[in-house]
């Protein structure tokens, strides 16, 4: 099958193809940033014209490179390299150009192609512009007649000049353009609301005037919560759609359009008077008109001037209200209408639970009425109250209550309270009443229990529960109601009793019958409770600390004291925390019976408590050094019916704790321990146990093995980094700024030994100025915080003589009394002094590697050099100052750079010395010639002189060796000798002569 000539690619496929082209071996094209120009189409145009210009070069091996241009679905109109048509082919569904790799010059690529446009949902136009694999491009979009703004993605730095939009694009395979969106198309909205007599709905006719600059726009009509019935323009249907929760009309064609829409909505009568609430699209001009049958008072919300007119009389009357609204998205139309007495169709059942408590001189009742509405709805509740006006209703609570009032008894109705609800209630409803009545305090006085009941209910039942007070109680009551127990109350009510005991209870079906009783002295009730102990045992070197929380769960009665049983030897070390705490003391004498294994500790309260409360205490026991086994001391609560507990065991680093023997304990994972235990220590809890027992002889026990280990002494403080900045001034002042990052655990001070003669200019700790303490003549101490890292900043100065022509400096670093690391020392000297020698045990590195510290404060005098400086940086990874015999130091040898005047002097001096040397050489040559002629023998003078060496070379022959190495072109007896020079530039002494003297 023949392959298709063209294949469409997605942007993802095109991007993958670009990446594969970059990873391909052989000559590779490299692109420079380019420029793209886009011409938007006219009103009926379907394509966007794109022009791209960029430079490309081929690097790598010789051959032909495949330059990926654009995906194959692009309508490519022209492609050229430096004005010449490019050689194109389709490769993998993309346009590829062939470019030789033997030419190193860059080629200018020019592409011209077209991209189709796509419509957007809001009437705008979209275009996806594929681009060559450029590292970046400047994009210009031209098209002045396009309505609305032009948007480009990905976004970059944008600039608008006239009708041209310029955007700088990053490296991207494509760009997206969007233009032509309609802006502020809606100009005027008119709504006409009409109500039919006896109807529960309103018919609304809306007239929407829009002005469109583009080809198409979406016009909001109404929210989807209303029913749209018709949309027309000029009598012709208009296409609509639902977008973003709105009915929207699709309007096409530029210019002015008038759309008519009809829809219906309901009338809300839930708040008493009827209301029609409308949600509107915001428009500059909005007019609303409402026609309501009858003569009505009409208001608009928001409040605006309303023109109200009434036409007709009697049942034919119609009220018309019209008004202009500000730009808003809602309007509510309210009116009044006559209300006739509704037919009584309500049917409800009720359950009443009355909790009556007797205290000294007062009787309090809390009543909860639970309605079950089985027919209709309830907007008003009536509750019958006792006829005695001494029974006061002081609180009514429930959902949606607007108001409540009490009414005295009449001939036709009993004394009652009426509760008004804001909205009609259906289903179920709960109402809570609270009443109180003053009663005699004398024992034997008669008392009638105040009872209430709901009125206008179909079926009624309930429970009356009596509660005794702390000092007074109800005598056995007489009543025609049936007796019941505490379980007659619902579970949710019993859970909120807070430990109170129901002494008497009566159940009734229908109206409750009267309950009569007398006041008598309260009998002491048996106090019963359960206890739960949560403890943490923390073993230290010579002590055991116990942190315990005792939770009391009262089952019956109340108590004002709790007695704890503690092992002898366990002492209280902290405060005791308990609600309404009066005092806490040992009951047994500490010097008493030594044979008793346990002691009693009493916690007294200011008032008797019931329900749930907790006691917190901290205990400790001293552990002798020779103790290797310990029976774990436990905390018990005397009188508890059931005692439960959970505890964890932790130890310090030098202690090792192990289980030896456990009885009636359950070992648990420490992750299952409650947070009240785990949050009491930062150490890891090693062991966890739970237990539960009801009898003293069944109490659990745990024996632990203890082993103490020696600890290795570690650093109490260390310095994480030291940064020194020393500035040398030509006047002789040496200023050093030192910064120390100190990790301190237990130390109070850091001691610093300064160079002799140093003057401290300022010091700070964590940015706060501090005053150092003088320790010795050349040492100071600085106070540092514990258990964290801090930063010490110190500035000090030394005075020495003014720098001369060849000065030398001995710089000494401050010496801390703690271990340090990451030591850096930056030395600055004036630029007119050159450093030609250094002597130090530090490592010299490039000054550019200096890492300055963070400055937390400005301390002392911030002395800075006025001119240029030379810098040297010295480093040391580890600086164990306490173990070193001397502080770190740097010795510098300097030389002053000569000035312009000194240059001239030195030049003249050099000329003088050169002339003197030439004169002495000339004198020596003349004397040697005369002596040589006088001392030479006659035979030697007659012998012809040898030919000069080396002889002349003929072309093409190699040079000849000297046949007589001792023969030179000059007399050897007078050949000048140079003394060998020693290291350092000084001449070595001349060797003694061994031959006979000449001349």
CA dist 18 and 22 (Å) reads: 6
Q: Which residue has the higher pLDDT, 384 or 150?
A: 384
- What pLDDT is recorded for position 945? 45
Of 132, 215, 216, 218, nearest to 175 by C-alpha is 132
CA dist 776 and 754 (Å) reads: 10
Q: Which residue has the higher pLDDT, 592 or 864?
A: 864
Find the mean pLDDT for residues 24-51: 82
Task: Transcribe 454-515 into DSSP letters.
Answer: ESS-SEEEEEEEEE--SSEEEPPPEESSEEE-GGGS-HHHHTTSTT----EEEEEESSPPPE
How much of the chain exceeds pLDDT 90, in percent?
39
CA dist 311 and 333 (Å) reads: 19
CA dist 851 and 845 (Å) reads: 12
By three-state DSSP, how is residue 875 classified?
strand
Residue with tokens 């289903």: 427
CA dist 791 and 857 (Å) reads: 10
Find the mean pLDDT for residues 77-105: 83
Q: At residue 978, does pLDDT exceed 50?
A: no
Superfamily of domain 186-335 in CATH is: tricorn interacting facor f3 domain (2.60.40.1730)
CA dist 219 and 238 (Å) reads: 11
Between CA 888 and CA 895, with CA 892 as vertex, the angle to 5 degrees is: 170
Give the pLDDT band (50/70/90) at residue 882. Answer: confident
- What pLDDT is recorded for position 789? 92
Give the pLDDT band (50/70/90) at residue 10. Answer: low
CA 933 to chain centroid, in Å, comes to 104
> Within a 10 A sphere around the Cβ of 690, how many other Cβ atoms?
15
- What pLDDT is recorded for position 834? 83
User: Hey, what are 624's tokens?
Assistant: 């002798």
- The values of phi and psi at residue 313, to 5°, are -130, 155
CA dist 319 and 290 (Å) reads: 8
- What pLDDT is recorded for position 14? 66
Q: What is the pLDDT of residues 47-60, one digit of tens each?
A: 889 999 999 888 87
Q: At residue 963, does pLDDT exceed 70?
A: no
Topology of domain 547-708, CATH: Immunoglobulin-like (2.60.40)
Q: What is the pLDDT of residues 822-839, one digit of tens each?
A: 999 999 998 888 888 889
Decide: residue 520, CB within 10 A, 0-12 exposed, 13-18 middle, 19+ buried.
middle
Architecture of domain 11-179: Sandwich (2.60)
CA dist 207 and 221 (Å) reads: 9
Residue with tokens 């009240």: 676
Find the mean pLDDT for residues 931-956: 46
How much of the chain exceeds pLDDT 70, in percent?
84
Residue with tokens 């500000």: 326
Q: At residue 625, does pLDDT exceed 90?
A: no
Residue with tokens 């690097």: 59
User: Hey, what are 309's tokens?
Assistant: 């007119």
Q: At residue 628, does pLDDT exceed 70?
A: yes
Q: What is the pLDDT of residues 338-382, one digit of tens each?
A: 655 445 568 899 999 999 999 989 999 999 999 999 988 899 999
Contacts of 172 (CB under 8 A, 6+ apart): 131, 154
Find the mean pLDDT for residues 261-265: 91
The pTM assigned to this predicted structure is 0.41
Give the pLDDT band (50/70/90) at residue 406. Answer: very high
DSSP state, residue 589: -
- Round the average pLDDT of the chain to a whole number and report it: 83
Q: What is the pLDDT of residues 745-784, one digit of tens each?
A: 888 999 999 998 899 999 999 989 899 988 877 899 999 9
DSSP H helical ranges for 318-393? none
Q: What is the pLDDT of residues 485-501, one digit of tens each?
A: 888 999 999 888 876 88
- Least confident range of 151-165, 347-361, 451-465, 541-555: 151-165
Q: What share of the chain is helix, strand, coil (3-state, %, to 5)?
A: 10, 50, 40
8 Å CB contact between 209 and 187:
yes
Find the mean pLDDT for residues 606-633: 90
- Strands (E) in 60-163, as ranges, are 64-71, 75-81, 84-85, 87-91, 94-100, 107-116, 118-119, 125-130, 137-142, 151-153, 158-161
8 Å CB contact between 505 and 488:
yes
User: Hey, what are 988's tokens?
Assistant: 């070595």
Q: What is the pLDDT of residues 99-141, one digit of tens each?
A: 887 666 788 999 999 988 887 766 678 888 899 998 889 989 8
Q: Which residue has the higher pLDDT, 57 or 588?
A: 57
Find the mean pLDDT for residues 447-466: 94
Architecture of domain 352-521: Sandwich (2.60)
User: Hey, what are 71's tokens?
Assistant: 């995906």
- What pLDDT is recorded for position 521? 87
CA dist 828 and 517 (Å) reads: 102
Q: At residue 840, does pLDDT exceed 70?
A: yes
Q: What is the pLDDT of residues 281-326, one digit of tens each?
A: 888 899 999 998 888 888 898 888 989 898 888 778 889 999 998 9
Positions of CATH 2.60.40.1730 in the chain: 11-179, 186-335, 717-896
Q: At residue 980, does pLDDT exceed 50?
A: no
Topology of domain 717-896, CATH: Immunoglobulin-like (2.60.40)
User: Hey, what are 895's tokens?
Assistant: 């030389």
Find the mean pLDDT for residues 588-599: 66
Q: At residue 530, does pLDDT exceed 70?
A: yes
Q: Is the dihedral of CA 145, 149, 154, 157 positive or negative?
A: positive
Written in H, E and C, the secondary structure of 725-775 is EEEECCCCEEEEEEEEEEEECCCCEEEEECCCCCEEEEEEECCEECCCEEE
Q: At residue 613, does pLDDT exceed 70?
A: yes
CA dist 964 and 946 (Å) reads: 10
8 Å CB contact between 704 and 661:
no
- What pLDDT is recorded for position 20? 62
Decide: residue 799, CB within 10 A, 0-12 exposed, 13-18 middle, 19+ buried.
exposed
Residue with tokens 């046949």: 963
Find the mean pLDDT for residues 774-795: 90
Give the pLDDT band (50/70/90) at residue 902. Answer: low
Of 339, 225, 319, nearest to 277 by C-alpha is 225
DSSP H helical ranges for 483-606? 491-494
Q: At residue 732, does pLDDT exceed 90?
A: no
- Least confident range of 252-256, 556-560, 836-840, 957-961: 957-961
């Amino acid at each position: 099958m023949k392959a298709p000539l063209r294949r469409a690619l997605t942007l993802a496929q095109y991007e993958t193809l670009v990446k594969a082209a970059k990873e391909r071996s052989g000559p590779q094209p490299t692109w420079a940033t380019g420029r793209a120009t886009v011409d938007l189409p006219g009103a009926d145009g379907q394509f966007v014209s794109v022009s791209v210009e960029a430079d490309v070069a081929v690097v790598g091996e010789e051959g032909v490179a495949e330059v990926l241009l654009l995906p194959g679905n692009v309508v490519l109109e022209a492609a050229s390299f430096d004005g010449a048509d490019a050689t194109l082919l389709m490769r993998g569904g993309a346009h590829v150009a062939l470019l030789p790799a033997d030419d190193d010059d860059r080629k200018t690529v020019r592409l011209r192609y077209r991209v189709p446009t796509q419509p957007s949902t809001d009437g705008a136009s979209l275009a996806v512009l594929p681009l060559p694999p450029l590292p970046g491009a400047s994009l210009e979009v031209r098209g002045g007649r396009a309505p609305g703004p032009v948007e480009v993605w990905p976004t970059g730095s944008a600039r608008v000049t006239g009708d041209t939009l310029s955007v700088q694009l990053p490296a991207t395979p494509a760009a997206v353009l969007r233009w032509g969106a309609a802006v502020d198309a809606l100009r005027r909205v008119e709504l006409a609301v009409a109500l039919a007599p006896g109807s529960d709905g309103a018919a609304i006719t809306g007239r929407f005037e829009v002005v469109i600059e583009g080809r198409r726009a979406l016009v909001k009509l109404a929210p989807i919560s209303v029913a749209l019935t018709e949309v027309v323009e000029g009598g012709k249907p208009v296409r609509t759609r639902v977008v973003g929760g709105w009915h929207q009309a699709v309007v096409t064609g530029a210019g002015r359009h008038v759309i008519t829409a009809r829809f219906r909505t309901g009338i809300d009568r839930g708040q008493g008077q009827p209301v029609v609430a409308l949600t509107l699209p915001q428009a500059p001009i909005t007019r609303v008109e409402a026609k309501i049958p009858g003569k009505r008072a009409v208001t608009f919300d928001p409040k605006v001037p309303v023109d109200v007119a009434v036409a007709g009389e009697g049942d034919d009357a119609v009220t018309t209200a019209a008004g202009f609204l500000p730009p808003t998205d809602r309007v509510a139309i309210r009116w009044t209408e006559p209300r006739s007495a509704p037919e009584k169709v309500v049917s409800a059942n009720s359950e009443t639970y009355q909790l009556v408590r007797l205290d000294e001189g007062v009787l309090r009742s809390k009543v909860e009425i639970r309605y079950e509405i089985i027919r209709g709805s309830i907007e008003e509740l009536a509750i019958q109250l006792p006829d005695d006006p001494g029974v006061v209703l002081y609180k009514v609570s429930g959902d949606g209550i607007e108001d409540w009032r009490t009414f005295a008894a009449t001939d036709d109705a009993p004394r009652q309270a009426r509760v008004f609800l804001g909205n009609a209630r259906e289903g179920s409803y709960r109402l809570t009443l609270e009443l109180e009545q003053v009663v005699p305090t004398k024992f034997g006085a008669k008392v009638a229990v105040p009872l209430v009941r709901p009125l206008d209910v179909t079926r009624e039942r309930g429970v009356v529960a009596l509660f005794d007070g702390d000092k007074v109680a109800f005598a056995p009551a007489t009543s025609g109601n049936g007796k019941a127990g505490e379980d007659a109350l619902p579970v949710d009510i019993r859970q909120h009793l807070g430990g109170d005991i129901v002494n008497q209870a009566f159940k009734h079906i229908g109206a409750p019958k009267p309950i009569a009783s007398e006041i008598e002295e309260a009998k002491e009730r048996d106090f019963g409770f359960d206890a739960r102990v949560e403890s943490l045992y923390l073993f230290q070197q010579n002590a055991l600390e116990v942190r315990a929380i005792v939770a009391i769960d009262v089952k019956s009665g109340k108590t004002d004291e709790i007695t704890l049983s503690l092992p002898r030897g366990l002492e209280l070390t902290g405060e005791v925390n308990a609600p309404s705490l009066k005092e806490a003391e040992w009951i047994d004498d500490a010097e008493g019976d030594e044979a008793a294994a346990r002691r009693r500790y009493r916690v007294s309260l200011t008032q008797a408590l019931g329900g749930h409360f907790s006691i917190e205490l901290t205990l400790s026991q001293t552990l002798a050094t020779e103790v290797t086994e310990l029976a774990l001391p436990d905390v018990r609560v005397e009188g508890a019916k059931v005692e439960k507990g959970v505890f964890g065991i932790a130890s310090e680093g030098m202690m090792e704790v192990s289980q030896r023997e456990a009885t009636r304990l359950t070992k648990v994972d420490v992750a299952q321990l409650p947070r009240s235990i785990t949050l009491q220590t930062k150490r890891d809890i090693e062991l966890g146990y739970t237990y539960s027992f009801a009898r003293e002889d069944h109490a659990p026990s745990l024996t632990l093995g203890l082993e103490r280990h020696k600890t290795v002494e570690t650093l109490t403080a260390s310095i994480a980094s030291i940064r020194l900045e020393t500035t040398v001034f030509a006047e002789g002042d040496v200023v050093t700024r030192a910064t120390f990052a100190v990790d301190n655990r237990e130390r109070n001070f850091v001691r610093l030994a300064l160079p002799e003669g140093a003057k401290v200019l300022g010091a700070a700790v964590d940015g706060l100025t501090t005053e150092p303490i003088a320790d010795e003549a050349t040492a100071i101490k600085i106070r540092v915080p514990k258990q964290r890292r801090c930063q010490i900043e110190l500035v000090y100065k030394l005075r020495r003589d003014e720098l001369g022509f060849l000065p030398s400096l001995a710089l000494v670093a401050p010496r801390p009394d703690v271990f340090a690391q990451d030591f850096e020392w930056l030395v600055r000297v004036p630029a007119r002094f050159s450093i030609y020698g250094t002597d130090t045990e530090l490592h010299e590195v490039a000054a550019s590697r200096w890492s300055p510290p963070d400055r937390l404060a400005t301390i002392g005098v911030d002395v800075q050099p006025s001119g240029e400086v030379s810098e040297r940086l010295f480093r040391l990874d580890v600086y164990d100052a306490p173990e070193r015999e001397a502080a770190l130091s740097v010795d510098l040898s300097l030389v002053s750079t000569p000035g312009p005047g000194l240059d001239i002097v030195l030049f003249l001096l050099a000329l003088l010395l050169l002339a003197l040397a030439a004169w002495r050489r000339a004198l020596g040559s003349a004397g040697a010639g005369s002596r040589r002629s006088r001392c030479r023998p006659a035979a030697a003078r007659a012998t012809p002189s040898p030919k000069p060496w080396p002889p002349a070379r003929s072309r093409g022959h190699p040079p000849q060796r000297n046949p007589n190495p001792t023969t030179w072109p000059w007399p050897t007896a007078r050949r000048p000798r140079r003394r060998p020079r020693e290291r350092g530039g000084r001449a070595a002494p001349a060797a003694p002569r061994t031959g006979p003297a000449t001349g």
